[in-house]
Amino acid sequence: MDGDRFHGLSGLYQKPYQQMCEAKFDLKICIWITMGAFLKDLKKKGAALTLLKVSDLISELIGEEFQVKNPFLFWTKAEMCKVLAKNGQYDLPTLTMSCDSPHRQKPVQCGYCSSCLLRRQSLAASIIKDRTRYVVLHGERPVKHPSLYFLNMQAQVRTLDSLFAISDNPWKSITKKFPVLDDIVDQTAIVENLLPIEMQNRLIQLYRNYVSEWNAVESLISKGLLNQYSDLQISSKYTVLSQPQ
């Protein structure tokens, strides 16, 4: 069997599939390599489409249908953290790692990459005290501009807020700016047992919740980030240039 025959896979997933077909490794090792590819893909493209790819690949590897389910697909991270608060599990977040580029010395987590910022925003919005020690708050001043990720996330939130405000058809507005959302609905609505319109509405609500949570705690997570670096250029893809038609 030739691994290149599985044309629906990106380069990340072709390698473990081909290695399995050529019997270079056993099934468990191939799945382990697949999960490594999954984590890389997840950071690049997000959860919905990545989970579909991984489900397809593992199904091919094991010879039967396999599906990775995400029970929190329509939850913000803050909403997940609120469940911890409701159950009194305030210490669990300190046991987790979010940083995209963890440091070798303590503090380990930087506090200013997009994953750290989402962590800080989620904990603040869920009223869980963040006991994590971050480089940007507790360590030496980082060499890179620590505000760049924050400014881009801030611009993204403001873009979403603007798109919701200037149109009575939020899905049309948001997909004009972020067309990949149409692909997500087309490919995952059936898997989630939802009609396309139902999934569109749930995604719109998800982003509305996220915008609301961010706005509520933005001043808290901007600490240590908006001093001398506030004039950095943000990504142009988060700029609303004109009113959607």
Helix (H/G/I), strand (E/B), else coil: 134: strand
Contact assessment for residue 51 and residue 70, using Cβ atoms and an 8 Å cutoff: yes
Residues 6+ apart with CB under 8 A from 168: none
Q: In the predicted model, is pLDDT for residue 227 greater than 70?
A: no
Q: Tokens 């049309």 identify what position? A: 172
Q: pLDDT tens for residues 166-202?
A: 878 999 999 999 998 999 899 888 888 899 999 999 9
Residues 6+ apart with CB under 8 A from 157: 210, 211, 214, 215, 218
Q: pLDDT tens for residues 153-162?
A: 999 999 999 9
In this prediction, residue 242 has a pLDDT band, given cuts at 50, 70 and 90, of very low
Q: In the predicted model, is pLDDT for residue 88 greater than 60?
A: yes
How many angstroms separate the CA atoms of 143 and 174, rounded? 35
pLDDT score, position 166: 83
In this prediction, residue 107 has a pLDDT band, given cuts at 50, 70 and 90, of confident
Q: Long-range contacts: 18-26, Cβ < 8 Å, 24+?
A: 20/61
pTM: 0.72
pLDDT score, position 244: 37
Contact assessment for residue 9 and residue 53, using Cβ atoms and an 8 Å cutoff: yes
Q: In the predicted model, is pLDDT for residue 6 greater than 60?
A: no
pLDDT score, position 125: 93
Distances (CA, A) of 29 to 56, 69, 96, 121, 129: 17, 22, 25, 36, 39
The residues that bridge with 134 in the sheet, in sequence order, are 109
Average pLDDT over residues 39-51: 60
pLDDT score, position 4: 41
Average pLDDT over residues 97-108: 83
pLDDT score, position 5: 40
